[in-house]
Amino acid sequence: MKKAIIATITLALALGASAADNVKATVHADQPGAKINREIYGQFSEHLGSCIYGGLWVGEDSEIPNINGYRKDVFEALKALKIPVMRWPGGCFADDYHWMDGIGPKDQRPSLRNNNWGGTIEDNSFGTHEFLNLCEMLGCEPYISGNVGSGTVKEMAQWVEYMTSNGDTPMARLRRQNGRDKAWHVKYFGIGNEAWGCGGNMTPEYYSDEFRKFNTYLRDQSGNRLFRIASGASDYDYNWTRVLMDRIGHRMQGISLHYYTCSGWGGSKGSATKFNDDQYYWALGKCLEIEEVIKKHKAIMDEKDPYNRIGLMVDEWGTWWDEEPGTIPGHLYQQNALRDAFVAALSLNIFHKYTARVKMANIAQVVNVLQSMILTDQKGTGHMVLTPTYHVFEMYTPFQEATFLPIDLESEIMQVSKAYFKEKEGARDAGYRPCPLLSASAAKTTDGSLVLAVTNVSLDKDQTIDFSIEGYQPKTVSGRILTSKRVDDFNDFSHPDVVAPKDYSDAKLKNGVVSVKVPAKSIVVLSIK
């Protein structure tokens, strides 16, 4: 029986499951869905702040232990994540990037001013070779973001030839002169970035024509076949998607979508580690709103592409808070609390659900920027720390290439007044943003076992969930849990394991039902065999 909850001024609990009874849920192993594309676990590395320099790259002569110039500790941590794809060199940086500046002897490469991110002088010591070699070492697909905004058709066409041609072509010969004989495999190529904004402030009609022009000259080389990604919409701009689907159509294999959990683009976005309960639930509600955004873009794509040949690529997503005090303005260095881990888990659960259309997602960004996997010490001590978001990605690795299984799950819903942030969000967001307290995702892995992730974002209420599994007989269950005393807890260089996974033993099997006790403020990932 559902119960009524009295609303407060800014927060309210909607009708939900009774607190006295266990929540009942069903995993439909007998109704398998699409394969969960491993590229959903993609990363994003931009020349922004210390993401590249001091994050991924320190150079061969650095006192910090490195492998051919790549930070050894960062490399090993990323290798453990089984990263499927990494996007580079931006972001907005890509719209000012001219690739020939980043090849050849490092001491002869010209520098440039990073106009988008703090005016930092970029020395181009990390360029095409350094990025593509890193992807090879990590075993991940490179995703190149090409410069439409300030670049030329010839420049982009030559870049593709430089990277992928094994013939006796001018750009292949230049690559060999620079020390790389064999071409790289480059699958994903973005034709522009945020063409509606920093990538040229274009209309969707104009950008569609630019895409068609640039695309004409990006020829597949030496058996390498490009997966061509158009610069898609920012969150709620459904017209952009409709115009591109109409005007570009199947000339593209993917269309991007950018969505940030952010309180607005003017003024303070709030602290990553200092927030109240209202701000906490609001952020998770904002994060979950991406499902409605995906559904609306998907509906347009389904209408124009009923055979599902064009993928939706959420190639920028995550939290965006204020920079940490004392850090360089424009470098977007932010801490990463347990709240961010919830944003990661909830978002991934949604991407799993829509994996038939969502072919890739790239969290922003991999090191030292926004909702990163890893933080490195900005004072040069060589310290590294794994963030709570890293731990979610690591715990979720069994979902890569597994088969999605639908779940029936009821949850109490926290309703956060959008009016609480009306000055930042505007009239469009009048009303309430729902935040279900429970979320779950299930899949069947390639070895025949099940992986089940359960998230309880409640600040104060433990919850027991009884999962019936249709079409599967569970015999054993084991798992891990990610939680902490407070949702604003985080890891730093002095306390690197405040938020870290631990073994979990509160899942029980009885009569084919998996009963899971999920404490408040926790993420549980189970392996069921």
DSSP notation for 326-381? TSPTTS-----BHHHHHHHHHHHHHHHHTTTTEEEEEEE-SBSSSS-SEEE-TTSS
**Coil, helix or strand at residue 249:** helix
| CB contact at 8 A, 442 and 30 | no
Q: What is the DSSP letter of 521?
A: S
Among residues 141, 316, 323, 394, the one annotated as catalytic is 316
Give every CB contact of residue 285 below 8 A, 6+ residues apart in sequence: 414, 416, 433, 434, 435
Q: What is the DSSP letter of 82?
A: T
Token pair 């190639």: residue: 315
Query: Hey, what are 60's tokens?
Result: 């061969």
Question: Environment class of residue 2 by beta-carbon count within 10 Å: exposed (0-12), middle (13-18) or buried (19+)?
Answer: exposed
Question: Environment class of residue 21 by beta-carbon count within 10 Å: exposed (0-12), middle (13-18) or buried (19+)?
Answer: exposed
Query: Hey, what are 479's tokens?
Result: 């798992």
| CB contact at 8 A, 360 and 311 | yes
Cβ neighbours around 105 below 10 Å, total? 8
What amino acid occupies position 465?
Answer: I
**Which of 246, 261, 253, 254 has its CA nearest to residue 291?**
261
Give every CB contact of residue 494 below 8 A, 6+ residues apart in sequence: none
| CB contact at 8 A, 502 and 458 | no
Token pair 């001590």: residue: 381
For residue 77, give the H/E element and its range.
Answer: helix 72-80
194 is catalytic: yes
Side-chain-side CA neighbours of residue 494 (13 Å): 0
155 is catalytic: no
| CB contact at 8 A, 183 and 172 | yes
The strand pair at 507-510 and 438-444 is best described as unpaired
Among residues 130, 141, 161, 194, the one annotated as catalytic is 194
Query: Hey, what are 188's tokens?
Result: 């994903």
Q: What is the DSSP letter of 120?
A: P
Characterize 315-344 residue by residue with b for buried, 16 or more Cβ atoms within 10 angstroms of its Cβ, and e for exposed. Answer: bbbbbbbbbbeebbeebbbbbbbbbbbbbb
What is the C-alpha separation between 202 and 200, in angstroms, rounded? 5
Give every CB contact of residue 75 below 8 A, 6+ residues apart in sequence: 56, 67, 134, 137, 138
Phi, psi of 393 (to 5 degrees): -60, -40
Active-site residue list: 194, 316
